[in-house]
Structure formats: structure tokens, C-alpha cells
Amino acid sequence: MLKKMLILVALLMPVMAVAADKSKKEEPIEHLTDEQIYEQLKKLALVFEVARDNFVEEADEKKMIEAAMNGMLSALDPHSSYLSADDFKEFNDKSHGEFGGLGIQITSDRGAVRVISPIDDTPADKAGIKAGDYITHIDDEQVFDMTLNQAVKKMKGRPGTKVKLTIVSEGKEPKTLTLKRAIIKVDSVKYEVKSLADSGEDAEKIGYIRISDFGATTAKELKEAIEKLEKKDVIGYVLDVRNNPGGYLTAAIEVSDAFLDGGEIVSTRGREKTNIERTYAKEGDLANGKPVVVLINHGSASASEIVAGALQDNGRALVMGSQSFGKGSVQQQKPLGDGTAIHITIARYYTPSGRSIQNEGITPDIEVLQSKVEVLEKKESMYSEASFKNSLKNETSKEKDKKKSDDEDEELTDEEKDALDYQLQRGMDMVIAMSKLQNRKPVSEQNLEENSVNEVESKDVDKKIKKEENKDKENKKSDKK
């Protein structure tokens, strides 16, 4: 029995590609010999048998082995885990754009569950859950004793059913939210023509492209969006990847390539120093060289950071917003042949300039923190002629309706929401400025044009003078005769 258990455990052991951070590599790793590994595996099998035979209740062997494998992988980093057959199927379903749940991307952080970002227009997004929030309880059960997969499973369920989450936001008291589960359909790309708030009818047209995640169809949707926006004569683009938790590496590469005409996009580097793969952009900038501003924030992770870093390092776009999440590691699914798989970190991402994204993120060229625009001057002053006692009334003015309820302010139009989005407004400001700078001719070129015009004009004047002189000479000759 013990020998069989050893064989089973050995088959399930992954090849450990150590992808720990530099901070974890301060002490050198002491590798075990094959004999020592065998002894440790024998001990593991012994622990299994003793626990199974002596536990106070009937033990679930499958649950115990899966927990052991999960613990083994989570010891490497927060993103490596064992996927059961159900987990692996759910992972693949989610990657293809539709899945059930709350619409929230999470990660493990020192035993707690941390929100990377909510997905647009999902129950989590509508409930006001933000990037950086911590989930401490799911249906009143603490998450500290759960694996990440277990936490995900508890939040998923039949559409229409409810789940209760306890959320802790930075600097705020814990709050409990009850969310209704739904089928999460991820529309990767949304786009439209936008203009600056209060800019009037002659406002410059700006192409706004929102990418909420990087799925199998994202690149195709983006190309279609750019083609349609180009037909509307936009002056430039705002590419919004705020609160985008990432997705497929191939999608991030293709999105970057859409705006580039060449240059490196990203490199991935494994454990061995020589194990480097570089990806380059092909010819053809779909945006035709027009200005691009990329908006990022703390919820922009992984594939979002690859796009922002590629466009930033190639000088193709200006990155605005706040520091990104800092997930610069590559995960891959290694199927085990029975429907299960290992989700394991195999490499790190590097931007074209050689910067590692891991734990650092992308630093925006211009930091613009999301702010609330406050009106400093009231529409009406409390001190005016009308404020005096017994002041004469204006007989021609219509009586003002002062019975507006507070609820009317809650339902905002898309234009009003845009006007309140401080980062978006500053991003569009920058696109307009970059477009004007791009279209402005250098002083040297202007001088050359003026000089050439002056030369032509002076030559014309010289010709006229010579003609007049020749006429005078001919007239003098005729007079002498």
C-alpha cells in the first residue's frame, strides 16, 4: 500500500520551476538529492496514512490529496494551484468569454482574498467592489482557512441565487454586501467617439476604446473598433485598461501590435537565464500614427501591463493614471491526463526596455489620481439684490422650480458620467494637445516656407524692374533717332 502511495504522489509532483521574487531569494536554496526527495515523499505518504486512519471522523482521501497538492503549489507563489476536473473546465469556460458568478477577479494575499478588479457591468462592479478591497468572509465563513479555488467556488453558483460577502476597504469599516449571482458575459471591447465635457458642437472627436479583459476574441474586436473609429475622423485615441485584470498573453501581444509599426512588444524569461522569448510587432499601425493615451490604475494587471509597457517603451503612447497592479508572471496549465491540471508560474514578463513588471507594475508617464471635481462657485449667491428684505420682484421672470428631489442627481447620463471621470477627461485633454503638437510645423520649416515665398516675390520684383529699365532704354534710343 505504501509503495503504491509513493508512486501516486511521485506522478502528481510537478517539476518545480522556482519563480519566487528577489526578496525570497536572499537565502540560497538547498536542493535535495534524489534519495532525500524519496525520503520526504515516503514521509508524506506516511502522514497521509496516519491521518486517514486516526482522524476522529471518516476521512475523504481525495480531498486530502488535493489539499496536499494545492499546498505544495501555493508555497511557490499566489498564482500556482492544482485544478480539479471541475476547476479546469470552469477555467476554460471563463477564458472563452462566458461563465457564472459575481464577475470579480481575485488573488491570494497572505492568506486573505484580495480583489484585483471587478469586471465591467457585473454584480461585483454594480455593488461598488473596488480593486484592492479584501474579502474576509463568504456567507459568514472566514476565507483565511480556504484555498483560492475554494473561495472562487463558494462565490460561484446558480444564476439568481445570492451570496453574502464581507468587504474591507482601505481606511474604512468592514461592510457586508449581498450580491445576486448572474451569467457573466464578458464583452472585451467597447468603443465610441467622445469629446471633452462642455466643449461645444465643434469639439474634437476622440476615439475611446475600453478593454475590460483580454480574451480569445479581444484582438479581433479591437481591430473592428479601430476601423470604425477611423472612418469617423477621430484625432486620436484613449485606450482604457483601468481595472482590467489581464487574460491571454497572445491577446495582449495582438492588441499592442495593432498600435505599433515595429519594435519589441514583450519578452518572457524563465528560470534559466538563456530561456528568453521575445515577441516583435509587425508592420502596420491601425491607428495611422495618431496620438494614443493609455489609462491605467491599481486594478490594471498582467496583460494590461504588457500593453501599457509596450506602447510606453516604444514611444507610441503616453501612459496616464496611477501605478498598476504589478503582476508580471506567466502562468501555464499543465494537464495531468485525467481532466485535472496544474496552474503554474513558468516565467516573468519584461517590457521592451528590460523592466520587470513583477511587484513593480507600470509607472505612468503622468500620474493622474482619480479625483472629484468640486464646484467652488455657487450658481446663485446668497448675497444679491434678491436677498434684501422687501426688494422689488422681477415681474417678467418665471418662477423657479425648487422642488427637485435628490434622487434626480443619482441617474446620470453617459455624458455626465464622463464629465465626472477626472482621469478620462485629462486623458482626452492630452490627446488633443498631442494632436495639435503633431500637426504643428517646426519653426525651421515655417522659415523655409517664408524664405521660399520671399525669394519668389523678390525674383518677380527684379523681373519687373529689368523690364522697366529695358523699356526706358528703348524709348531713349527712339528719341535720339
Q: Count the residues in the chain.
A: 481
Residue by residue, pLDDT tens for the chain (481 residues) are 444 443 333 333 333 333 334 444 567 888 999 999 999 999 999 999 999 999 999 999 999 999 999 999 989 998 899 998 888 887 776 655 566 789 888 887 777 798 988 888 889 999 999 988 999 999 999 988 787 878 888 898 888 899 999 999 988 889 999 999 998 877 789 999 999 988 877 889 999 999 998 988 999 999 999 999 999 999 999 999 999 989 889 999 999 999 999 999 999 999 888 889 999 999 999 999 999 999 999 989 999 999 999 999 999 999 999 999 999 998 889 999 999 999 999 999 999 999 999 999 999 999 999 887 665 555 455 455 665 556 666 666 555 444 444 444 456 788 888 889 999 999 999 999 999 998 876 766 556 656 665 665 666 656 666 666 666 666 665 655 5
How far apart CA 156 and CA 122 sit, in angstroms, is: 13
Within the chain, all domains assigned CATH 2.30.42.10 are found at 100-185
Residue 302 annotated as catalytic: yes
User: Considering 194, 327, 418, 421, which one is annotated as catalytic?
Assistant: 327
Q: Which residue has the cell 482601505?
A: 170
Out of 3.50.30.30, 3.40.80.10, 3.90.226.10, 3.40.50.2300, the CATH code matching 189-326+361-367 is 3.90.226.10
Asked whether the beta carbons of 65 and 82 are under 8 A apart, the reply is no
- Is 202 annotated as catalytic? no
| Three cell numbers, residue 67 | 489539499
- Which CATH class name applies to 100-185? mainly beta
CA pair distance 433, 415, nearest whole angstrom: 21
| Catalytic residue chosen out of the listed positions 313, 322, 324, 329 | 313
Q: Which of 188, 302, 322, 324 is catalytic?
A: 302
Q: Distance between CA atoms of 21 and 19, rounded to whole angstroms?
A: 7
Of the candidates 214, 187, 216, 213, the residue with the CA atom closest to the CA atom of residue 96: 216
Do 185 and 98 meet the contact criterion of CB atoms below 8 Å apart? yes
- For residue 154, count CB atoms less than 10 angstroms from its CB and return exposed for 0-12, middle for 13-18, buried for 19 or more: middle
The model's pTM: 0.71
**Angle (nearest 5°) at CA 300 between 133 and 331:** 95
**Grid cell at residue 416:** 455626465
All CATH 3.90.226.10 domain ranges of the chain, comma separated, are 189-326+361-367
From residue 390, alpha-carbon distances to 66, 320, 385, 393, 401 in Å are 83, 55, 10, 9, 21
**β-bridge partners, 331:** 345
444 included as an active-site residue: no
3-state secondary structure at position 223: helix
